[in-house]
Amino acid sequence: MKLVSSVLGLVVAFGMFASLGNAALILSFENPTTFIPNGGIQSINVFARSSLPAGESVSTLGADFTLGGGAVFNTPNAGTFGGAGFTGFGNINPGASSFDRETAVGSANVGYLNITFQNFAQQFTNTPTPFATLLVNPLSLQSFSISATNVFAGANSLATVSIVATAVPEPTTLAMVAVIGLVGIAHRRFRKTAIA
């Protein structure tokens, strides 16, 4: 089992590696990627980092994102990018950048991200930093997949990246479980006291 986990880890790491000549950008998602079922539109951050110690610069960055299992993107924007704390803040050409949801019927699970940096090529360090946020409605699902395909940085194509997002209990469910646990503990203590 440990060998299988190690091999899967290597496959995932290899799938996240993207060659840019002698350099590489590595894309990733929040880890773990979780959501609340029936919680409406929820945010999932996408990160990028350079594999080079000194980092690297790119003039454009983009990807096609696909949600599997029935989850859908927000409309009309499938996500956001370029905000404070995000790579590219203040350096994105708004007229040449977008994060749109597919408009064809039955394709609400597809979003297209295209970012063009305007003043200078954007530096990516070797520390993962968010560069975009997916806006996803998971409906009542317990899990769904997210894939980034047709990923590019400048003129270079990057590898496909995929993850599975999993549901976490709603806060009210967690509170109910906690109350039941406390009642059980109190009942057990009361019972031990009554027997003694």
Instruction: Give me the tens of pLDDT residue by residue for the chain, a chain 196 residues long.
Output: 333 333 223 223 333 333 334 457 888 898 889 899 999 999 999 999 888 888 889 999 999 999 999 999 998 999 999 999 999 999 999 999 999 999 999 999 999 999 999 989 999 999 999 999 999 999 999 999 999 999 898 877 777 788 899 988 655 554 555 566 666 676 566 666 666 6
Query: What pLDDT does 161 receive?
Result: 83
Among 126, 77, 82, CA closest to 99:
77
Where do the domains of the chain lie, and which CATH numbers do they carry? Answer: 2-168 (2.60.40.680)
Question: Cβ atoms within 10 A of the Cβ of 52, count?
Answer: 15
Contact between 48 and 25 under an 8 Å Cβ cutoff? The reply is yes
Query: What pLDDT does 25 receive?
Result: 85
Maximum alpha-carbon separation in the chain: 78
Asked if omega into 130 is within 30° of 0 (cis), the reply is no
Query: What pLDDT does 157 receive?
Result: 77
Among 143, 80, 82, CA closest to 111:
80
Query: What pLDDT does 170 receive?
Result: 58
Distance CA 121, CA 91 (A): 9
